[in-house]
A and B are shown apart, each in its own frame.
Chain A
């Protein structure tokens, strides 16, 4: 007997797991270096989604203290947003650096296929 309440209550985690596996599959199976890196970015996105969705509070509003806001207002968790802001910037930096390395590899060897690169090196 499948517990549908459990499945529905954790639907954000299922989305995260599926995205993570898609990214991991692309990283392992694809031969093109840019496609491998797109897989890594998809995995990044799944981790961002994991953190942000973990900080959600039912019925919460964005964590901005309105002037004289009372204590009865429910805010969502601001801490995952902060951590993911850091992670997004790091992801952008690694993407930029990796893409420029890929450009240099293509200029040097004329291919982006990882098997061909292993033979050529």
Chain B
């Protein structure tokens, strides 16, 4: 699937190009509000990945890959588990158990816990985003 599914259709190409940034913005909103409203890392990762899939369907696979290069995807895929594990180890170093976020460090435990939970969500979102896009590119062929 090297060509676009819709050929050179001006309406589809223009609308996809215009809508994709807003989908990504909505994904970032879902990611950053995961602790006060429905959402979180998994949902946000899939939403942002869907914008790249939309671009691949409307503009063709090479143009979608141009916007999300392999050199960026490769570190993103593995950084999520790394961020998660590092935060867990940080909790040990701060005197808690592995992944016990409620540690008192500069702020009260509840505030630290909320910050660390947001950081973990961001790590999950990065991995899910990169992995879904990579799986789509691998299955879509060259």
* Chains A and B in contact, CB within 8 Å: yes
Mark interface residues in A102-116 (1 if CB within 8 Å of B CB, else 0): 010000000000000
**Cβ of A64 and Cβ of B139 under 8 Å apart?**
no
**Cβ of A64 and Cβ of B37 under 8 Å apart?**
yes
Q: Is the interface of B mostly helix, strand, loop or mixed?
A: helix
**Cβ of B38 and Cβ of A62 under 8 Å apart?**
yes
Interface range, B side: 10 to 19
Give bound CA distance, A85 to B40, whole Å.
11
| Contacting residues, chain B, for A92 (C-beta < 8 A) | 132
**Cβ of A99 and Cβ of B42 under 8 Å apart?**
no
Give bound CA distance, A89 to B40, whole Å.
13
Give bound CA distance, A23 to B33, whole Å.
36
A46-103: which have CB < 8 Å to B?
Answer: 62, 64, 85, 88-89, 92, 96, 99-100, 103
Closest to A96 in B: B135
In the complex where A64-B36, A64-B37 touch, is A85 in contact with B42 (Cβ < 8 A)?
A: yes
Interface range, A side: 10 to 19
In the complex where A85-B42, A89-B42 touch, is A100 in contact with B36 (Cβ < 8 A)?
A: no
**Cβ of B139 and Cβ of A99 under 8 Å apart?**
yes
Closest to B40 in A: A85
**B138 in the interface (beta carbon within 8 A):** yes
| Contacting residues, chain A, for B37 (C-beta < 8 A) | 64
Closest to A89 in B: B42
Closest to A97 in B: B135
| Contacting residues, chain A, for B139 (C-beta < 8 A) | 96, 99-100, 103
Give bound CA distance, A88 to B40, whole Å.
14
Give bound CA distance, A96 to B36, whole Å.
31
| Contacting residues, chain A, for B38 (C-beta < 8 A) | 62, 64
| Contacting residues, chain A, for B138 (C-beta < 8 A) | 100
Report 16 cross-chain contacts, Cβ distance below 8 Å, ordered by A residue. A62-B38, A64-B36, A64-B37, A64-B38, A85-B40, A85-B42, A88-B42, A89-B42, A89-B128, A92-B132, A96-B135, A96-B139, A99-B139, A100-B138, A100-B139, A103-B139
Show the binding face of A for B, using Cβ within 8 Å: 62, 64, 85, 88-89, 92, 96, 99-100, 103
What 8 additional pairs, Cβ within 8 angstroms, besides A96-B139, A100-B139? A62-B38, A64-B36, A64-B37, A64-B38, A85-B40, A88-B42, A96-B135, A99-B139
